[in-house]
Structure 1
């Protein structure tokens, strides 16, 4: 059994524990911005392929007390790096956290890199080159109090970048956060899902992938572990085929998105095509004032803008009031979820929320507000 750590956005620790346990992880324990768990190589590949919430899945190599730069260098050199890295493979080092003496992440990363390549020079007379963007092996070093944890990053590029969304609108919602919001809402795939402010389509698309049981990792070009020395290509191919064969053919209930901006609707349609779900999901250009409920019940979900202004001339307070009016007058029998990072604007909706769930959109504290529309 290897030890792993899945990193998530602040506040999503309880959700990632649930997701990891569903995927078969053992000994799952919540931590700071993530959860530790145990499992074999199959689980590592499966979590990268299927998990909707994490940014990265780290495989723990070593943990040791560390107070100074000398401690760090010596302990990094005590690891036999030839088991993970040969001179023909490129590397990158990511450092997070700090101690009293090691309080600059760039210096920490440099110290780790030097310890590794100096060991390679002694062993092989050659060393790995540094490649920051797409390294063959990405090493993660985390300092906390007087300790250091060294891990390999099995994911490569952050898992929130599914790969289906080269086209994004302004201030797009991360795919992993969209998936988390949908999970927090308790939405079931038998309920219609409608986002009347859908932008480039992230919320409807994540709902669609979940409803059709499509693994989010299927759209990625590659995972970090694919260039590891012990990569089992046959196992990965088997898990990919297994994921493809478990997809559902049709949605149990419609998933719609609309937006006033024709350009972002074009982006949403392109993203749906990249997912292979353009025949399942409906996107349309529509002003909010023209939106009506397409069925008697369902879930309406939206992430309205919460900056100072919407466009050049329109007032956001009036926009939020209009949103509240549309929901109140035209969506009786539905449940609404609105993500807001601005309490004053949320009050302009003019509806009483039945639940407010604190979440972070990046570093911005927000609330996912639930409204029962009678």
Structure 2
């Protein structure tokens, strides 16, 4: 039986609580919240499970050592002293990512370079061969985190960021990050309880994440490769056991998930992504202008939308566009709850509806709001009475 060890899961701002909850539900111990990260403990099998099943994690890091650094020479000497031959072969390849919060060390790329030099020099001195650098598909991805004078060295068990689920084969302009999409839906309380609509679906990210949550499908089932798969101690039998156990927890979903988009090309791209995610049986696409649609029946409807912000996708008349969103919600979609994310905080005023919830998130570097609108037939007062 393998021992538990400490790990750190990185996430987006505002999703830390959700990630901590996911980790606890999967069986992690010693869960502690940080800023954009959650630390926890588990064994090797749990590391595999967290990578496969966490919807709101971007990376799962396995720290191997930490030490004090006061100057460049400290960093080089202490990285050089690590037994890197335990983690990779000299014929392998490596990539180094660094994040730095320090007065002395200010340039993360320089830290990455110094780390790489120390590792390569150790292999050359000991084995006479030096590993190559491969930023896309390295044998070992290493993470360096310097906070003031403390340097933590971790192995990146995820490889490419976990938001790259493996289903996005076609993208539109300004697609929403998959981790943000899942986090937004989880914040909104979506768990497959009714019909779902994304009225401006673009390349289909919200639809796919909604279907995976509803069916309890592991989000990274389609991922090509995790970082841990190229480690010398990778246990393929254990991974397959974990994967099969997760697949057994997939559940049935008996409601409709629908996506509209006015752009025929966006619909085609969404169709390709949905097919790549093997979710065509759950999701229906329609080439429609949302502003000319109305609710089809009197069933409860959950609406989630990531409209253009007038940042990467231009909107001719922001006031009119966001006003139309509000009018369509109010007039044509009674007895629904609508959740919308936007970084155009000014545009929210033009929706003309009072949000019952506002949650601060970041879409990339753009500060955004996830807002909830309760949509009633008639007035809210009449509904209450």
1:172 matches 2:171: no
Aligned position for 2:83? 80
Query: What does the per-residue CA deviation read over 1:107-160, in whole Å, with 9 as the maximum and x for residues that have no partner?
Result: 211211121122212322222111111101001101101110000000111000
Gaps of 5+ in 2: 377-385
Secondary structure of the 2:244 match is helix
CA contact under 8 A between 2:169 and 2:276: conserved in structure 1? no
Aligned position for 2:122? 119
Aligned position for 1:307? 310
1:316 matches 2:340: no
Structure 1, 23-32 or 235-244: larger mean CA deviation: 235-244
Gaps of 5+ in 1: none
Query: What does the per-residue CA deviation read over 1:49-90, in whole Å, with 9 as the maximum and x for residues that have no partner?
Result: 011111111000001111111111121123211110210211
* Separation of aligned partners in 1, 2:203 and 2:135: 29
What is the CA-CA distance between 1:219 and the residue it aligns to? 0.5
CA contact under 8 A between 2:173 and 2:313: conserved in structure 1? no
CA contact under 8 A between 2:200 and 2:305: conserved in structure 1? yes
CA contact under 8 A between 1:309 and 1:316: conserved in structure 2? no
Secondary structure of the 1:198 match is coil
> What pairs with 1:130-169 in structure 2 (closer than 5 Å)?
130-169=133-172
* Separation of aligned partners in 2, 1:140 and 1:52: 21
What is the CA-CA distance between 1:309 and the residue it aligns to? 9.1
The CA RMSD over aligned residues, in Å, is: 1.4
> What pairs with 1:142-291 in structure 2 (closer than 5 Å)?
142-248=145-251, 250-291=252-293
* Separation of aligned partners in 1, 2:311 and 2:83: 54
Match for residue 353 of structure 2 among 345, 351, 364: 351
Match for residue 11 of structure 1 among 9, 14, 29: 14
CA contact under 8 A between 1:64 and 1:149: conserved in structure 2? yes
* Separation of aligned partners in 2, 1:182 and 1:295: 23
TM value normalised by structure 2: 0.94
TM value normalised by structure 1: 0.96
Aligned position for 2:329? 327
Structure 1, 146-155 or 94-103: larger mean CA deviation: 94-103
